[in-house]
Amino acid sequence: MNSNPVHKDLEIKIQHIGLKKENHLFEYQIDGTFFADFENSIIRDCAIKIAIFFDKRIEPYHTRIQIDGTVQAECDRCNAVFPMKILADFELYVKYRGTHQEDEDSETEILFITRDEPEIDFTKLIYDLLHLSIPIYKTCNDIGNNVECDKEMLKVIDTYLQQTEHNKKNKTKEPDPRWAKLQELKDKLN
């Protein structure tokens, strides 16, 4: 496998024209500056390593993308910022096409390029894959015991939950007055 130097770029592109027909490894280091040009990015600060394994021996070219690193995320429990580990692995194929109109008809796991394009731009794809790698519910592994946890917020949440539970236990079952009016109407009709 041919390994290339580690890049620290804002764009992730592979010069595929001129590459030998063998396996290649391209490595990139990404930090928060990578996301500066994208609007509405939920990632602001990170330290991520991207490894792109590009197999040019057979067409379509097989590509495997590995993502490993940390993203500064807000905890959905206490709202504190903590380093969240991201580890993901994606596969796709790179195929040649005749025109740019085929892009809209392509499947998600196939990236279409033209034969005269000297490089494959993975920038937007990596941006999307990084966001897909972030879980919907973001919390640290040991809530309340990490240095980053907002202990005051956790106390407020715990107090609120205890009050809610206490109110549920002590609440008497009185019928809702709206249902009483409906019951009267039902009785009149019967």
Q: Which helix (H) or strand (E) holds 149?
A: none
Output helix, strand, coil percentages for the chain, rounded to the nearest 5.
Answer: 30, 35, 35
Could you tell me the pLDDT band of residue 100, with boundaries at 50, 70 and 90? very low
Question: Between residues 7 and 122, which one has the greater pLDDT?
Answer: 122
Residue 67: Cβ within 10 Å count: 19
- Residue 7 has a pLDDT of 57
Question: What confidence score (pLDDT) does residue 129 get?
Answer: 93
CA proximity to 56, closest of 26, 25, 23: 23
Residue 123 has which token pair? Answer: 């920038």
Q: For residue 120, which of 182, 167, 46, 60 has the smallest C-alpha distance?
A: 60
DSSP symbol at 19: -
Looking at residue 49, its pLDDT comes to 95
> Picking from 35-39, 75-79, 91-95, which range would have the lowest pLDDT averaged per residue?
75-79
Query: What is the rounded average pLDDT for all residues in the chain?
Result: 82
CA angle 138-144-146, nearest 5°? 80
Burial class (CB within 10 angstroms; exposed 0-12, middle 13-18, buried 19+) of 105: exposed
121 φψ region: left (φ > 0), alpha (ψ -120 to 50), beta (else): beta
Amino acid present at 172? T
Predicted confidence (pLDDT) per residue in 19-57, tens digit: 899 999 999 999 989 988 888 888 889 999 999 999 999
Between 85-94, 112-121, 149-158, the lowest mean confidence (pLDDT) is in 149-158
